[in-house]
Amino acid sequence: MLGPQQRTGRILEIGEHCLIGRGLPSATDYVCTSLNSLPPDLPDGLNRLEPLAALRALRRSAYGLIVAHAPAFAATRASMLRFAVRKPRERGLPLFLRANLAWLIPAHIPVVMLDLEDAPIVYSSNLPLLDRALLYFKRELPADRARAFLQTKAPALPDFAMRTSELLAARIGKLRPISSGLSDGVMAAAPRQPAQKTVDVFFAGRVAGSSSLRQSGARELIGLTNRGVTVDFVTERLDLADFLRRAAAARLVWSPEGYAHECFRHYEAAAAWSVPVINTPGIERLRPLLHGIHAIYYGVESGGLTRAIVSALRRPERLLVMGRSARRHALRYHSHAALAEYILGETEVTLGGLARPNP
């Protein structure tokens, strides 16, 4: 099997997050454009570049593939440049690089975009780079892909004229789902063997100030204690080791959406040999945890969470089997290495399709 550099050439990853660099550190140069801090726990073998060095490398066409992360906020190119001018030393070059990628990357170098943000839309400021890119991998990809292109003015939903346009069809055709993934740190910290189950349901996360379904679901979860269900319920943030230990001791881990549906908790619970309980999604997912095999899904209507948990707990032996299946699935398909392989595979297929002559 060909290695990543033999398949695409060396990869340059640019953005506030780092995914390809975590999955393929020896084949990737990474430029962080965050204005605050580096992503945590970057691998030792990853080559980090400053923005100026990346600009020089782009001029030399030193890369076979550019992986660009969609910025975490909506901003026009002009406003980003004005902001950079006000703080040139600290923020000038990262913002310049991020705002001008569509024009700075040589035309012959393929580009893919990664959007790991919570928003289920593609900001208009990202459209020039989307139009330049081969593919756009989006974590919160609406089931109706056209809804990713909501407008800020009426009609907000893409109407018939938009949906039948060649431009929107081309943009929709570039969209692909991607998961939030499972970090090497979680995989290393998760228990190697199943732990003894001492709790029926575990939840740790923010409720106040998060999604409304968390607030209604929390009331149901607490109400289950009156039915003899043992619940470990925590609203403060736990460190990773404590979270994984408590998740491993639970038959079920409640994993409702917060600001977005696709979240780390789904896969962290699975890595701890537990079964995540997830509200029914409205997004398109990558190799998802499946209902009744790896996870339990429930409707958000009143009583939906209660019914799902009570039904699942009737067969605790089945939950042990599901927990093992969930862990295998998460480690196989949602590690950073697996996600990097998926991105490169989709890119190769797309490049092959472009190179194939018309009959």
pLDDT in tens, 236-258: 899 999 999 999 999 999 999 99
Q: Are 44 and 177 contained in the same domain? A: yes
Q: Are 11 and 160 contained in the same domain? A: yes
Phi, psi torsion values for 274, nearest 5 degrees: -110, 170
Query: Residue 131 belongs to a domain with what CATH number?
Result: 3.40.50
Average pLDDT, the chain: 90
pLDDT tier at 124, thresholds 50, 70, 90: confident
Query: What is the pLDDT at residue 321?
Result: 98
- In the chain, the number of structural domains is 2
Strand partners, 201: 231, 252
59-80 residue pLDDT tens: 898 999 999 999 766 555 555 5
Strand partners, 114: 69, 137
With residue 319 as reference, give the H or E element that holds it.
Answer: helix 316-333
Question: Which domain, by its residues, includes 94?
Answer: 4-181+336-355
Q: Are 75 and 130 contained in the same domain? A: yes
2-24 residue pLDDT tens: 556 556 689 999 998 999 999 99
Burial class (CB in 10 A: 0-12, 13-18, 19+), 41: exposed
pLDDT over 90, % of the chain: 74
Q: Are 145 and 26 contained in the same domain? A: yes
Q: Are 276 and 317 contained in the same domain? A: yes
Residue 356 scores a pLDDT above 80: no
Q: Are 137 and 192 contained in the same domain? A: no
The CA distance from 42 to 13, in Å, is: 13
Residue 323 scores a pLDDT above 80: yes
The CA distance from 238 to 327, in Å, is: 21
Q: Are 247 and 173 contained in the same domain? A: no
Query: What is the pLDDT at residue 158?
Result: 86
pLDDT tier at 53, thresholds 50, 70, 90: very high
- Beta-sheet pairing, 141-142 with 283-284: antiparallel
Q: Are 142 and 108 contained in the same domain? A: yes
Compare 33 and 347 and report the one with higher pLDDT. Answer: 347
Residue 120 preceded by cis peptide, ω within 30: no
Query: Residue 218 belongs to a domain with what CATH number?
Result: 3.40.50.2000
Q: Are 43 and 171 contained in the same domain? A: yes
Q: Which two tokens stand for residue 202?
A: 């575990």
Residue 87 scores a pLDDT above 70: no
Q: Are 175 and 279 contained in the same domain? A: no
The CA distance from 257 to 279, in Å, is: 7
105 DSSP assignment: S
The CA distance from 294 to 276, in Å, is: 8
Taking the alpha carbons at both ends of the chain, their separation in whole angstroms is 30
Mean per-residue pLDDT, 118-145: 94
CA separation, residue 30 to residues 24, 110, 134, 305 (Å): 11, 16, 20, 42
Residue 345 scores a pLDDT above 80: yes
Query: What is the pLDDT at residue 151?
Result: 79
88-102 residue pLDDT tens: 555 677 877 887 888
Query: What is the pLDDT at residue 40?
Result: 84
Q: Which residues make Cβ contacts (< 8 Å) with residue 232, sequence separation at least 6?
A: 199, 201, 202, 203, 246, 249, 250
Q: Are 23 and 170 contained in the same domain? A: yes
Query: What is the pLDDT at residue 182?
Result: 95
Query: What is the pLDDT at residue 1?
Result: 46
Q: Are 341 and 328 contained in the same domain? A: no
| The dihedral formed by the CA atoms of 279, 282, 286 and 287, expressed in degrees to the nearest 10 | 50
